[in-house]
Amino acid sequence: MNIRLETKDDYRQVEELAREAFWNLYTPGCDEHYLCHILREHKDFIKDLDFVVELNNTIIASIMYTESFLLSDDNEAVRAVSFGPLCVHPDHQRKGVGTALIEHTKSLVKDMNIPAIIIYGDPHNYSKHGFKNGIDYKVSNMDGEYPLGLLVLEVQQGFFGNKKWKIKQTDAFCLDHEKAIEFDQQFVEKEKKVTYSQELFKMIIRSYLR
């Protein structure tokens, strides 16, 4: 298993990987492969944290990072980062591949003197990596709320204290669904289904902590 930076020759393979990993997981079909496609040209994309995992000359996992900002209640702005999509091919999930990607990139983020990685995700998947809910570090969304899926990994220990923060992520995550559908037409047709994981996702995104 080889962890390396993504190259231009990998783009299509990574997009196909994201499609396989997320298809019917959160919605019928998925948009994550389109997100991979548009992120690379976005101003907030971090090329130095764009990694793939290669096994037997095949890409089986990928992680992409973007710039974020922590905004304090006393008007301080601090650079942070967010990752997503994090993709692992279904045939290689639950085997430590995603963990290897997170650990590899987390050490690089620490070397960049960035205090935190902040994502939206399923706590069941990320708490084992040290992520906590934003409320534990007084980190809210821009509306001052604490969604269940807002997760924070403190990379620089002791950074979070008494201050309250809001996280501002890239606008690239607010993608155009119609353009995503159009982009998907370039790929081999797959059946869209309603699954139980989609119901779980709807529960998570409507849940907030107080």
> What is the distance of C-alpha 49 from the center of its chain?
12
Q: Which domain holds residue 44?
A: 2-170+197-205
Residues 9, 17: Cα–Cα separation, whole Å: 14
pTM of the model: 0.96
Residues whose CB is less than 8 angstroms from the CB of residue 169 and which lie 6 or more positions away in sequence, other chains included: 66, 68, 82, 118
| Chain mean pLDDT for the chain | 97
Q: What is the CATH number of the domain that holds 146?
A: 3.40.630.30
Say how far apart CA 167 and CA 10 lie, in whole Å: 31
Q: Kindly report, residue by residue over 179-192, the tens digit of the pLDDT.
A: 999 999 999 999 99
Mean pLDDT, rounded, for 85-108: 97
Work out the pLDDT band at 114, boundaries 50, 70, 90: very high
pLDDT at 145 over 90: yes
- Stretch 106-129: mean pLDDT: 97
pLDDT, tens digit, 9 for 90 and up, residues 39-70: 999 999 999 999 999 999 999 999 999 999 99
Flag whether 183 is in a domain.
Answer: no
Q: For 104, list phi and psi in degrees, rounded to 5.
A: -65, -45
Kindly state the average pLDDT of the residues 142-158.
Answer: 97
Is 139 among the domain residues? yes
Mean pLDDT, rounded, for 144-167: 96
- 191 occurs within a structural domain: no
Please list, residue by residue across 161-193, b when 16 or more beta carbons sit within 10 angstroms of its beta carbon and e when fewer do. eeeebbbbbbebeebeeeebeebbeeeeeeeee
CA 110/CA 176 separation, integer angstroms = 33
Pairwise CA distance, residues 98 & 128, whole Å: 12
Average pLDDT estimate for 136-142: 98
In a domain, 113, yes or no: yes
Task: Please indicate, yes or no, if residue 95 is contained in any of the structural domains.
Answer: yes
Q: What is the mean pLDDT of residues 23-29?
A: 97
Distance CA 108, CA 24 (A): 32
Mean pLDDT, range 4-15, rounded to an integer: 98
Q: Per the domain annotation, does 92 fall within a domain? A: yes
Distance CA 153, CA 146 (A): 15
Q: How would residue 162 be classed by pLDDT, with cut points 50, 70 and 90?
A: confident
**Element spanning 181, H or E:** helix 177-184
Is 186 within the bounds of a domain? Answer: no
Please report which confidence band the pLDDT of residue 85 belongs to, taking 50, 70 and 90 as the band edges.
Answer: very high
Please tell me the total count of domains within the chain: 1
Instruction: For residues 156-185, give the mean pLDDT.
Output: 96
> In the chain, pLDDT over 90 holds for what percent of residues?
100
Write down the pLDDT at residue 207: 98
Is position 175 within any domain? no
